[in-house]
Amino acid sequence: MDVRALRYFVETVRHASFTQAAKVLFVTQSTVSKMIRQLEEEAGTPLLIRDGHTARPTDTGRVMYQRGLQVLETMRQLSEELRQTADLRRGALEVGIPPMINLLFTPVVKRFRDLHPGIHLTLREGTGQAVESLVANGELEVGATILPIAPEGGLAAQPFGSYPIWVIGPPDAPWAGKTSLPLAALRDARLLIPTDDFAITRRLRQAFADAGFQPGIAAQSAHWDFLVAMASAGLGVALLPEPLMQRMKTRGLSTAKLAKSGMQWEVGHIWQQSGYLSYAARAWLEVCDAVLGKPKKGIARGNLPA
């Protein structure tokens, strides 16, 4: 059923006149008459009683009029909701964020809330690999993870930060007093690293393999403070990205930055390469760029889908 014809019919009944309806609708009277005839043909019954210059609804016309009012109001509300969504005044967004990355997003969430209070924002925590899977499966529109990601996953990536990795050991560590360590310095170390479901662990293992060795693993834990505590007790050497390192109590411990040539903690957003990004998701990425900074020169950016 043509919504325009329905609107012409409703205005004609409202004003009881083809002429007045045409004036309100800014069309000719013949256009109104033609559209209403088409509506009657589709309904299979007369909808108006034409009496000179006046028009009154038939019994079926009264039903059409009442339902027509409801349909037109629903269409008006739909148009308004679409407009508000495009203007970021309403909507919902769920972002996947690994626990180790979420500490970076406090200022982002605050800015996003301030700019777009009408958007319901949900942060869904999960390991980097879990977030990648949820985005790839379409359960999440956008998420954050450790880069790089597997090229065969069908995901696009946009970096938003690159941070050094810090080595934390007991006070009497062989490298105590040094400010920087090459990756090879950890060849004989006993490492304290996150569990294998963390993306950073995947990156660490790959970095060691690329360097031609696999160090021993003393222990693995999903809790960063526990890794530091074990390092303090002399059980091994913990590896933490700088944002986490800055929040740990490391006074009295040996700390050194892993040389940039060894490995960087690169974090970024991911979404489906061939997918659609909602207005809310695009706004989230824009806020992240503004708060966390643009990707550094030389780091490839994913192209936002149209």
The answer to whether the CB of 168 falls within 8 A of the CB of 245 is yes
Model pLDDT for residues 10-59, shown as the tens digit of each residue: 999 999 999 999 999 999 999 999 999 999 999 999 999 998 778 999 99
Tell whether the model's pLDDT for residue 64 goes beyond 90.
yes
Q: What is the pLDDT of residues 128-151, one digit of tens each?
A: 888 999 999 999 999 999 888 887
The answer to whether 259 and 181 have CB atoms below 8 angstroms apart is yes
Q: What is the pLDDT of residue 87?
A: 67
Q: pLDDT, tens digit, for every residue of 172-211?
A: 988 988 999 999 999 999 999 999 888 788 888 988 999 8
Structure tokens at 44: 């299979």
Give mean pLDDT, residues 58-70: 92
User: What pLDDT is recorded for position 150?
Assistant: 80
Provide the whole-model pTM: 0.66
Report the percentage of the chain scoring pLDDT > 70: 95
Position 298 scores a pLDDT of 34
Mean pLDDT of 247-273: 87
235 or 100, greater pLDDT: 235
Q: Which two tokens stand for residue 50?
A: 């034409």
Model confidence at 91: pLDDT above 70: yes
Q: What φ, ψ does residue 194 adopt, rounded to 5°?
A: -65, 165
Give the separation between CA 54 and CA 51, rounded to whole angstroms. 5
Degrees (nearest 5) of the Cα angle 270, 271, 275? 165
Mean pLDDT of all residues in 232-258: 90
Q: Is a pLDDT exceeding 90 seen at residue 293?
A: no
